[in-house]
Amino acid sequence: DAKTTQPPSMDCAEGRAANLPCNHSTISGNEYVYWYRQIHSQGPQYIIHGLKNNETNEMASLIITEDRKSSTLILPHATLRDTAVYYCIVSRYSGNTGKLIFGQGTTLQVKP
């Protein structure tokens, strides 16, 4: 599975959009981009995933560049409860058929 690179930390003002970048320059054609977050050492929580098209759900949007070498997770209106470590993971599998390998993630601090 391809490796990802994320900034170690980011700040965001409450109510503003949080844009979390991820580089995955060695991603291959059959690899998906997953985003998870972990709040206060709880179990990680699934946010969103995609292959090559942009995706949106009730939590966030995922923008994947055309060459698929990078992506951005967007939390449209960050709240204090969005303070967490966000993990970008690239995996060959989807639909619950493979393992997730976590990198170091980005610590997002949402400030009042």
Partner 1 sequence: SAVISQKPSRDICQRGTSLTIQCQVDSQVTMMFWYRQQPGQSLTLIATANQGSEATYESGFVIDKFPISRPNLTFSTLTVSNLSPEDSSIYLCSAPGGPYGYTFGSGTRLTVV
Residues that bind partner 1 (CB under 8 A): 34, 38, 41-46, 49, 85, 87, 94-97, 99-105
Q: Minimum Å distance from CB 13 to partner 1?
A: 26
DSSP string, the chain: ----B--SEEEEETTSPEEEEEE-TT--TT-EEEEEEESTT---EEEEEESSS-EE-SS-EEEE-TTSSEEEEEETT--GGG-EEEEEEEES--SS-S-------EEEEEE-
Query: Which CB atom, from 63 or from 93, has the smaller least distance to partner 1?
Result: 93
Whole-number minimum distance, CB 45 to partner 1, in Å? 8
We find the least distance from the C-beta atom of residue 102 to partner 1, in angstroms, to be: 4
Residue number with CB closer to partner 1 (2 or 100): 100
Place of tokens 């995706």: 55
* Nearer to partner 1 among residue 28 and residue 45 (C-beta): 45
